[in-house]
């Protein structure tokens, strides 16, 4: 059996008296897309911030490629190929697309001057890899639609050549057309072997591109199912009821289908 690229085991995280995560486990296989769902207090973003090192876990283990890790910051997780794209995109609107993709690590010439020719050529290359069309890499980000800004944020993450991309509510504020383009981008990343975790309230999007779906309720695992063996109705029931007994694990779903 293949080794999970990400293996989170028994994660606990509290903020004072508030227990945000309790004994949460998550596995992600290479090239897999997992939808992470639950209500607003479920602990989805907290779990991902623990994974990337933005938060420190109180208990549990995080393994990458089977090796235990202790990320102290997102920079540590980035070095092992993990990238998280937040809902606000964290882009600089007054800068152009190329500058945003390589923000803070612009290629240099002679160690002193920004190599603009290389920067814009590399930016075009990343967008081409994602099959994203833009008018120009010199276009200011603030002039782009929400969908195009999302694409630039993904391009910046991909420029680090990650093996895992985490997207926080990626389609929340997008039009129908922009959502379709973004889902196509996710599918393209999957074809290129990039594993993804999608935090989302839009089950339709997850069911379109995902392989598996995991449900959190009040900081606990209450369901883990392969998408081909469940329905949106069943997942909604888990989100609302949070009853673990009604959920099949991914392995159980496979056994039942056999």
Ordered DSSP codes for 159-182: TT--SEEEEESTTTT--HHHHHHH
pLDDT of residue 150: 87
**Residues forming beta bridges with residue 224, ordered by sequence position:** 214
Q: What is the pLDDT of residues 227-245, one digit of tens each?
A: 999 999 999 999 998 764 4
Burial class (CB in 10 A: 0-12, 13-18, 19+), 63: middle
**Residue 205 predicted with pLDDT over 90:** yes
**Residue 257 predicted with pLDDT over 60:** no
Q: What is the pLDDT of residues 10-34, one digit of tens each?
A: 999 999 999 999 999 999 999 999 9
Structural tokens at position 31 = 């090239």
**CA 187, CA 194: separation in Å to the nearest integer?**
10
Q: What is the pLDDT of residues 85-113, one digit of tens each?
A: 887 788 999 999 999 999 878 778 777 78
* CA end-to-end span of the chain: 18
**CA 121, CA 147: separation in Å to the nearest integer?**
22
Distance of alpha carbon 46 from the chain centroid: 13
């Amino acid at each position: 059996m293949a080794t999970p690229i990400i293996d989170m085991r028994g994660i606990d995280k509290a903020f004072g008296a508030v227990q945000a995560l309790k004994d949460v486990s998550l596995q992600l296989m290479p090239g897999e897309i997992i939808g992470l769902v639950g209500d607003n207090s479920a602990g989805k973003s907290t779990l991902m911030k623990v994974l990337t090192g933005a938060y420190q876990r109180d208990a549990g283990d995080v393994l990458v490629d089977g090796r235990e890790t202790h990320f102290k910051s997102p920079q540590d997780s980035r070095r092992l190929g993990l990238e998280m794209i937040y809902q606000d995109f964290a882009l600089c609107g007054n800068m152009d697309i190329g500058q945003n993709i390589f923000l803070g690590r612009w290629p240099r010439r002679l160690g002193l001057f920004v190599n603009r020719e290389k920067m814009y050529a590399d930016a075009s290359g990343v967008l081409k890899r994602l099959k994203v069309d833009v008018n120009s890499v010199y276009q200011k980000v603030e002039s782009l639609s929400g969908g195009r800004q999302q694409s630039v944020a993904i391009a910046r993450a991909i420029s680090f050549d990650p093996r895992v991309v985490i997207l926080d509510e990626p389609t929340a504020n997008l039009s129908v057309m922009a959502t379709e383009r973004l889902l196509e981008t996710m599918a393209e990343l999957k074809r290129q072997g990039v594993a993804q975790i999608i935090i989302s309230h839009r089950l339709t999007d997850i069911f379109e591109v995902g392989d598996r779906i995991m449900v959190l309720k009040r900081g606990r695992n209450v369901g883990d199912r392969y998408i081909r063996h469940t329905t949106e109705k069943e997942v909604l029931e888990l989100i609302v009821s949070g009853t673990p007994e009604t959920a099949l694990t991914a392995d159980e779903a496979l056994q039942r289908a056999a």
